């Protein structure tokens, strides 16, 4: 289970342990739970060392002769550089061992091909808006199959979405606050579980600490950045957070921090592996994708907000600043969805002048997506419908209060969009 620091992977692992013991009545001796950070830093030991002693002491056996089923729950696996080799070897030796590994970065999980071939990867993302409402207010809003609405927008799917939207809005009446204000708070500060019990200052401090540890600790796993200081990488991350929306020019960053464009490219790719950021290619043929710069987003807009708060770059209450956070939230939600749905789908940015914010490519269809806050209109979307010969486009906006399909444009209120993920 790779995922960004602070999203709750360790908590999930403890919950699984509790479930095995108290619900499934698994014998405690058949479960090995290890915190590898503590194991390596306090005892200078590796996973394999502890496992060998465990299986000898509690089961008087070796992996190939093991008759009982056992569970290995390994937290922060990436602190042991040999974890993947250990997992591969154990997988090949016994079918009676269930292994679950978490990692605060995806660096080693993604780069070790032997391990990847044998594992199922379940990425853990920051909380979505529904999860925030559930944990903060015990308000349970069921997951909606938004794939059908976004990717197969026909009359039946639109009608179904309208019915579900009404049900969701009725549930929101139980809140003691304006749902749109709750959404704004979520977008700015509440996609990390630790934010639920903290004020905004402590939350932003903790988010910036997550960023610092990614730069100082996680990037250490890739030695090719050894000649680049943590301060330089931090400057690059700050640049991404404070720039306006649009493509990232590596040459501009390189000139500013006085390193090569290729080094900037490598650092950005590594930051993607930590799941701090993700990137979108420009839409077009292969040659254009290779030649064009990428556009970068943070895995949650909370990170962008926290960095801007720390450098006093933007007033987060300003509509223009909020619109950048909303664009990040929409892009990251669709990015998660496409990653989970189909390898044949792609999410791109529109490099054309006066283009839309996003383009979804599915089979032979191109679906333009525009994200509108306050005074943004549908004019860019209309132009893109004609340019890409699209059957329909999507406008996600806080200027509409209900789902509507009109003139080949699917209008989705920002609040509804957030609830549908």
pLDDT at 292: 82
pLDDT at 81: 85
Of 110-124, 292-306, 325-339, which gets the smallest average pLDDT? Answer: 110-124
Of 94-98, 313-317, 351-355, 358-362, which gets the smallest average pLDDT? Answer: 313-317
**CA–CA separation, 72 and 101 (whole Å):** 8
Q: 212 near 198, Cβ under 8 Å?
A: no
Question: Considering the entire predicted model, what is its pTM?
Answer: 0.90
Q: By C-alpha distance, which of 75, 73, 69 is closest to 26? A: 69
Task: Please indicate whether residue 390 or residue 354 has the higher confidence score (pLDDT).
Answer: 390
pLDDT (average), residues 110-119: 64
**Residue 414 vs residues 296, 326, 417: alpha-carbon distances, Å:** 21, 9, 5
Give percent above pLDDT 70 in the chain.
93
pLDDT at 288: 62
pLDDT (average), residues 384-398: 95
Model confidence over 214-273: pLDDT tens digits? 998 888 766 567 689 999 999 999 999 999 888 899 999 999 999 999 999 999 999 998
pLDDT at residue 63 is higher than 80: yes
**CA–CA separation, 79 and 77 (whole Å):** 5
pLDDT (average), residues 376-392: 89
Quickly state the pLDDT bin for 112 (edges 50, 70, 90): low
pLDDT at 223: 59
pLDDT at residue 373 is higher than 90: no
- Read off φ and ψ for residue 241, nearest 5 degrees: -75, -30
């Amino acid at each position: 289970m790779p995922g960004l620091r602070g999203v709750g992977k360790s908590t999930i692992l403890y919950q699984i342990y509790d479930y095995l013991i108290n619900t499934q009545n698994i014998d405690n001796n058949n479960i090995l739970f290890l915190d590898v950070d503590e194991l390596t830093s306090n005892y200078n030991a590796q996973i394999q060392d502890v496992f060998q002693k465990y299986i000898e002491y509690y089961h008087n056996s070796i992996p190939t002769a093991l008759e009982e089923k056992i569970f290995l729950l390994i937290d922060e696996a990436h602190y042991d550089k040999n974890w993947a080799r250990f997992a591969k070897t154990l997988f090949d030796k016994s079918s009676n061992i269930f292994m679950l590994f978490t990692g605060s970065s995806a660096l080693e999980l993604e780069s070790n091909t032997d391990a990847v071939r044998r594992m199922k990867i379940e990425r853990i993302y920051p909380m979505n808006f529904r999860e925030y409402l559930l944990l903060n207010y015990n308000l349970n809003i069921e997951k909606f199959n938004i794939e059908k609405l976004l990717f197969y927008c026909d009359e039946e799917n639109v009608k179904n979405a309208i019915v579900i939207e009404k049900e969701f809005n009725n549930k929101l009446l139980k809140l003691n606050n304006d749902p749109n204000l709750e959404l704004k708070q979520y977008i700015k500060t509440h996609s990390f579980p630790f934010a639920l019990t903290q004020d905004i200052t402590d939350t932003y401090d903790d988010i910036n600490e997550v960023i610092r540890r990614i730069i100082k600790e996680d990037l250490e796993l890739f030695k090719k950045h050894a000649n680049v200081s943590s301060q330089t990488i931090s400057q690059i991350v700050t640049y991404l957070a404070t720039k306006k929306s649009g493509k990232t020019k590596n040459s501009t960053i390189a000139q500013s921090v006085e390193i090569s464009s290729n080094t900037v490219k490598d650092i950005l790719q590594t930051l993607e592996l930590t799941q701090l950021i993700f990137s979108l290619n420009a839409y077009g043929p292969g040659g254009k994708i290779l030649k064009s710069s990428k556009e970068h987003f943070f895995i949650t807009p909370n990170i962008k907000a926290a960095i801007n708060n720390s450098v006093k770059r933007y007033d987060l209450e300003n509509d223009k600043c909020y619109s950048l956070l909303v664009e990040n939230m929409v892009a990251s939600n669709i990015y998660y969805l496409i990653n989970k749905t189909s390898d044949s789908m792609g999410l791109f940015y529109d490099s054309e002048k006066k283009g839309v914010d996003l383009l979804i490519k599915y089979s032979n269809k191109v679906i333009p997506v525009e994200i509108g806050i306050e005074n943004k209109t549908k004019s860019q979307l209309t132009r893109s419908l004609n340019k890409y010969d699209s059957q329909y486009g999507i406008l996600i906006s806080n200027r509409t209060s209900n789902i509507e399909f009109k003139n080949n444009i699917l209008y989705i209120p920002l609040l509804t969009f957030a609830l549908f993920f």
